[in-house]
C-alpha cells in the first residue's frame, strides 16, 4: 500500500517538474524577440543616503512647522497691553501669582534663547523655533535673552509672546537669569 502512495507522489513530482519546464519553455518563447532593459542610470540608494533623505525630510517638516508658527501666530502690527514699565503678562484665565513666581525666579528656565545680534525677522524665526522645540520636548519654562541694544527686540518680543497660544505668562527675568535683558516665559504643560 505504501508503494502505491510513493508512486503517486513521484508521478505528481514529475508532473510538477514537467509543468515547470513547460512554463519556462513557454516563457522563453514568449520573450524570444525582447531585449532586456539595462538599469545603468539609476543606482539603488545606500543605507547612508536613505538615512540622509529621511533626516532631510524631517528637517524640512520642522522648518515648515516653524514657518507656520511665524506666519500664523506672530504679527508685527499687534501691540498688546503690558501695563507698567516692567515687562510682564498673564494669559486670560491664569493666576496673576504666576508672574510673581516668575519675578522671584521660582521657575528655572530649561531652555535659553539668545537673540543678540539678530534682526527682527531672524529673532521672530528663532523665537518660533524655540517655542516649537519647547512644546516638542515638554519644556514648560524658558528664557529669551533680548539684550539691551536699541530696544527694538525688547519692545517687540512681549507682543509676539502675547500672541502665542502656549504662553501662560512671562516676566522680566530676575537678575540670576539675565535681569532686564531677558524674559522668563512659562508655557502650558502638555496634556
Tens of pLDDT, residues 97-116? 888 888 888 989 999 999 88
Is 74 contained in some domain? yes
Examine residue 175 and state whether it is found in any structural domain, yes or no. yes
The domain that contains 166 carries what CATH number? 3.30.1370.110
* pTM greater than 0.75 (yes/no): no
Q: Is residue 154 situated within a structural domain?
A: yes
**Nearest alpha carbon to residue 141 among 172, 169, 165:** 169
Q: What is the Cα–Cα distance from 153 to 116, expressed in whole angstroms?
A: 9
Kindly state whether residue 139 falls inside one of the protein's structural domains: yes
Residue 3 within any structural domain of the chain: no
25-48: pLDDT as tens digits: 888 888 888 887 777 677 777 888
Domain that holds residue 160: 63-187
Across the range 65-80, mean pLDDT stands at: 60
pLDDT digits (tens, 9 = 90+) for 144-175: 998 887 778 888 888 888 888 888 999 888 88
Grid cell for residue 164: 502665542
User: d(Cα 130, Cα 125) in Å, to the nearest integer?
Assistant: 9
DSSP one-letter code for 144: E
Mean pLDDT of 55-64: 77
Quote the number of domains for the chain: 1
- 23 in any annotated domain: no
158 occurs within a structural domain: yes
The mean of the pLDDT values for the chain is: 78
| Position 96 confidence tier, pLDDT thresholds 50, 70, 90 | confident
pLDDT at 77: 55
Q: Classify residue 83: in a domain, yes or no.
A: yes
Q: By the 8 A CB rule, do 126 and 118 touch?
A: yes
Amino acid at each position: 500500500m505504501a508503494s502505491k502512495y510513493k508512486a503517486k507522489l513521484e508521478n505528481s513530482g514529475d508532473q510538477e517538474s514537467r509543468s515547470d519546464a513547460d512554463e519556462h519553455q513557454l516563457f522563453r518563447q514568449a520573450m524570444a524577440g525582447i531585449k532586456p532593459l539595462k538599469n545603468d542610470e539609476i543606482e539603488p540608494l545606500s543605507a547612508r543616503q536613505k538615512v540622509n533623505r529621511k533626516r532631510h525630510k524631517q528637517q524640512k517638516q520642522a522648518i515648515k512647522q516653524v514657518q507656520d508658527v511665524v506666519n500664523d501666530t506672530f504679527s508685527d502690527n499687534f501691540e498688546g497691553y503690558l501695563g507698567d514699565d516692567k515687562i510682564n503678562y498673564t494669559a486670560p484665565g491664569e493666576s496673576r501669582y504666576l508672574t510673581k513666581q516668575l519675578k522671584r525666579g521660582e521657575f528655572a528656565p530649561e531652555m535659553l534663547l539668545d537673540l543678540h545680534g539678530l534682526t527682527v525677522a531672524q529673532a521672530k524665526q528663532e523665537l518660533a523655533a524655540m517655542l516649537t522645540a519647547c512644546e516638542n520636548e515638554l519644556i514648560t519654562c524658558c528664557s529669551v535673552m533680548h539684550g539691551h541694544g536699541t530696544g527694538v527686540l525688547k519692545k517687540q518680543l512681549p507682543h509676539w509672546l502675547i500672541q502665542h497660544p502656549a504662553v501662560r505668562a512671562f516676566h522680566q527675568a530676575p537678575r540670576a537669569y539675565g535681569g532686564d535683558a531677558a524674559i522668563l516665559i512659562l508655557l502650558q504643560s502638555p496634556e
